[in-house]
Amino acid sequence: MASTAALEVLTTAGRRRARRREWLAVLGRAVRTTRGAVGLSIVGVVVLIAAIGPALAPRPADAFVTRPFDNPSLAFPLGGDVLGRDVLSRTLAGGWELLLMAAVATLLGVAAGAALGVMAAYFGGFWDSLIMRVVDIVLAFPQLVFALLLVSILGPKIWLIVLAVAISHAPQVARVTRAAALDISERDYVRAAQIIGMPARKVMRREVLPNLTSVLMVELGLRLTYSILVIAGLSFLGFGLQPPAPSWGYMINENRIGLVANPWGVLAPTLLIAALTIGTNTLTDAIARASLGVGRGADDALLPGITAAGAVT
C-alpha cells in the first residue's frame, strides 16, 4: 500500500514540473532555429503594436479630424480615412481586440478539442464513435460558413464569434489529438496508473495529456493562425467589432473605395494582419519541425480543414 502511494507521488508531483519544462523546451528549441526566431520576432512586433497602440494613438480613433482620404502629412502621417479620421490612430487602436479574440477562441477550441480527442481515444467503443460522429457533423461546415451561420442567429456579438471559432476548431483538434492519444493510451505507464486505481479523469490528465505536448503546441499555433484568418475575415465582412470602433479587418473594407486617393487606410491594416499571420504560421512551422522532426508533420498539419486520410482505415 505504501509503495503504491509513493509511486503515485512520484508520478504526479514530478511530472507536473516536467510538463511545464517540456512546453518551454519545445518552444526554446523552435525559437533557436532561424524560422522560429523570425516568426517570434514578427509576432512580437505586431502584438506590441496592438497592445500599446491604443495608448500611443495621437488622436481619438473615432474623431473626424481631417478631410476624407486626405494625403499623408506631418500632422497625419498615414492620412485620413473614409470619414476623415486619422488612419494612424485607428490602426494603432484597432488591433488588440482581434488578437484577444483570436487568442481566447484558440485556447477554448484547442482545450475542448484536446479533451474530446483524449476521451475518445481513452474510452474507445461507444464514446469514441459518439464523439467522432459529432465531430463529423461540425466538420461538414467550412469554418467561415459555420461562424456566419451562428452570427446570423444573434447578430455580430463578440462572444458569439469567439465561441463560433472555438467550436469550429474543436473537431479538427479532436481528430489530431485522438490519433496521437490512441497510441499513448496503450502504454505501460497508463496501464500502471489504471492498476493502482487512479480515476480515469486523473489518468487522462496526468498520464496521457502530458505526452501530447508537442502535438498540442503545433495545434495551438495552427489554430491561432486560423483564428486570426477567420476573425479578421468576419471583421472584413462587417461581422466583427461594429463601427465606429476601429478594427483592422473592417478598416480595409471601409477604406477600399479610397484606395487611389490614400492607400494607407487599406495598406496599414493589411500589412499588419499579413505580418501577424505569416509570423504565427512561421513560428508554428518551426515548432513542428523542432518537436516532431524536420519536415515531418509540419506539411501535413498545415492542411486546411479535414485530412481526408484520417477517415480511411
Residues at the contact surface with other proteins, assessed by CB under 8 A: 35, 133, 136-137, 140-145, 148-154, 225, 228-229, 232-233, 236-239, 249, 252-253, 256, 259-260, 263, 266-267, 270, 273-274, 277-278, 280-282, 285, 295, 299-300, 302-309, 311-313
- 280 and 224 Cβ atoms separated by less than 8 Å: yes
124 by DSSP, 3-state: which?
A: coil
How near is the Cβ of 4 to other proteins at its closest, in Å? 38
The grid coordinates of residue 247 equal 478594427
Q: Quick one: 198 or 286, whose CB is closer to other proteins?
A: 286
Task: Give CA–CA dist 307/174, Å, rounded.
Answer: 12
Q: Quick one: 101 or 204, whose CB is closer to other proteins?
A: 101
How near is the Cβ of 143 to other proteins at its closest, in Å? 6
How near is the Cβ of 161 to other proteins at its closest, in Å? 12
How near is the Cβ of 225 to other proteins at its closest, in Å? 6
How near is the Cβ of 95 to other proteins at its closest, in Å? 14
Burial of residue 138 (number of CB atoms within 10 Å: 0-12, 13-18, 19+) = middle
Q: Quick one: 111 or 134, whose CB is closer to other proteins?
A: 134
Q: Quick one: 17 or 133, whose CB is closer to other proteins?
A: 133
Task: Give CA–CA dist 45/51, Å, rounded.
Answer: 10
Q: Quick one: 146 or 207, whose CB is closer to other proteins?
A: 146
Phi-psi region of 155 (alpha: psi -120 to 50; beta: other; left: phi over 0): left
Q: Quick one: 134 or 192, whose CB is closer to other proteins?
A: 134
How near is the Cβ of 157 to other proteins at its closest, in Å? 12
Closest CA to 278 of 29, 32, 35: 35
Tracing cell 464514446 back to the chain, one arrives at 127
CA distances from 177 to 24, 255, 313 (A): 20, 42, 17
